[in-house]
Each structure stands twice: as C-alpha cells, then as structure tokens.
Structure 1
Amino acid sequence: MAWTPAQQSFLDAQMRNAQGRGARFWAVDKLLPPEEIVYDYLTCTLKSDSFPLLMVTNRRVLYTERKLFRGWVIASELPAYQVAGASYEQRWITGRVHVHGRDGSRITCKVRLGPQEAEWIQYMVTLINQLATGRGTTGH
C-alpha cells in the first residue's frame, strides 16, 4: 500500500514530536486531503476524553478535536495566507498557544507546562511565525 503525502508527512511529524504522546494517525485521512503536507503538530491538554491537536501544514493551521458521535473533526482553521503569527502565554498551571489571523480571528490551544513541552511549544510558535512570513520550514 502506498502512503499519501498527508499520511507520510504526519508519520514523519509523529516520529520527531518531542511531546511523547502518540497522535491519531488514523484520523489523517478524514482531516486532510491526500496531497496536504503536515509540517508538525502540537498535542494540546486533555479536553473531554481526548487530546486535541494543533497542526501546521503547507496550506493551513488547524485545531482538531474528537467529538463523541462525529469522531475527529476540524474545530477551527486558518489558511496559511491568513496566518499573521503565533504567541505563547504562560498561565499558572497551563499555557496557551495563540495563532493570530490577519482578520483578527484567533485559534487558541491550551498546553501543559512541562520541560519537554516548553521547547516544543517554542518550536511550534516559531514554525507558525515562519509560515506567516512566508519563509520555508526546515522541520525540527
């Protein structure tokens, strides 16, 4: 069986992801068209019974959640050309990664504050900022 670019790039991202939690590989076919390339993803904090993902692709930034009856869905997304940048906000117990849209919209992802997460979060914010400025991504 041949892998689609979406499947292969998500698997590559999963192998280099420093957060140490396995992502939902089987959800890729439902969430992404076969030709979309996943640069990397961030595993967010537990919501309901699953860990949402903030994914950065060659076309967009998307926030995915698992819904009870619908399975994995795209809860919000910003096309790459509308991404203005990203920022990180540290709170008392958790942090927030904000992806800012040029039209004032925003995607927010709640994240853990562990030593492994800190470096990965900063990498993801940098990656999203590179996407916003049109610079190429090099991977981690």
Structure 2
Amino acid sequence: MAWTPAQQSFLDAQMRNAQGRGARFWAVDKLLPPEEIVYDYLTCTLKSDSFPLLMVTNRRVLYTERKLFRGWVIASELPAYQVAGASYEQRWITGRVHVHGRDGSRITCKVRLGPQEAEWIQYMVTLINQLATGRGTAGH
C-alpha cells in the first residue's frame, strides 16, 4: 500500500523531530487530507492524557488535541495566507508559542523549557515566520 503525501511527510517530520516524544502517526489520516504536506510539528506540554501538536503544513498551521471520545481533533487552525508570524514567550515554568493571524486571531501552545526544546521551538517559530512571509520551506 502506497502512503499518501500527508502520511509520508508526517513520518519524515517525525523522524527529524528533536523533541524525542513520538507523535501519533495514525492521527494524520483523520486530521489532514491525503495531499497536504507536513513541514514539521511541535509537541506541546501534556494536556489531559496526551501531548497536543502544533503542526505546520503547506496549507496551514494547526493545533491538535486528543479528546476523550472524539480522538484527535483540530482545536484551532490558521490558513497559511492568514498567518502573520509567530513568537515565543518564556514564562516561569513553561513557555508559549504564539501563532499570530493577520486578523488578530492567535493560536497559543504551551511548551517545555528544556534546552532540547528551546532549539526546536526557535526552529518552529522561524519556520512559521517563513510561512508568513511566503519564503517557503525549501528542503522540506
């Protein structure tokens, strides 16, 4: 069975993800259409019993959560053309990655403050800012 571009690109992102916590590969089919390409994702802090994901694709930025009876769902999203940029805010115990929409909307996810996470968080903020400026993501 051949994998869809969404499945293959998510697997590629999972293999290079520096955070060390595996994401739920089986959720890709429910969350993304087969032709969507995953550039990378950020594993957020534990919420309920799972780690939400902030995913960057060729079409959008989406924040996914696992719900008790519904499984993995898209909790919020911004189309790529609507993304104005991203920023990182360090707090006392955790950090926050904010994805800013051109219309004033915002997606926020909590992240851990470890040294391994810091580098990956900065990479993801840069990736989202590149998506916002239309510079693309050559190499992904």
The corresponding residue for 2:26 is 26
Identity, % of aligned positions: 99
Aligned to 1:12, the other structure's residue is in SS state helix
Task: Show CA shifts across 1:98-122 (max 9, x none).
Answer: 0000000000000000011000000
1:39-76 deviation line (CA, Å, top 9, x unaligned): 00000000000000000000000000000000000000
TM-score (norm 1): 0.98
Q: CA RMSD in A?
A: 0.8
Q: Tell me the distance in 1 between the aligned counterparts of 2:78 and 2:51.
A: 20
Q: For the residues of structure 1 that align with 2:136 and 2:96, how far apart are their CA atoms? A: 25
CA contact (8 A) 1:56 1:62 kept: yes
SS of match in other structure, 2:23: coil
- Equivalent pair of 1:18/1:120 in contact (CA under 8 Å): yes
Listed as ranges, the gaps of 5+ residues in structure 2 are none
Contact between 1:39 and 1:139, CA under 8 Å: does it hold in 2?
no
Q: Distance in 1 between matches of 2:86 and 2:12?
A: 23
TM-score (norm 2): 0.98
CA drift of 1:139 comes to 4.9
Q: How many residues align?
A: 140
Which contiguous aligned blocks of 4+ residues in structure 1 show a shift greater than 3 angstroms?
Answer: none
Structure 1: any 5+ residue segments left out of the alignment? none
Give the Å deviation of 1:138: 3.2
1:136 deviation in Å?
Answer: 1.6
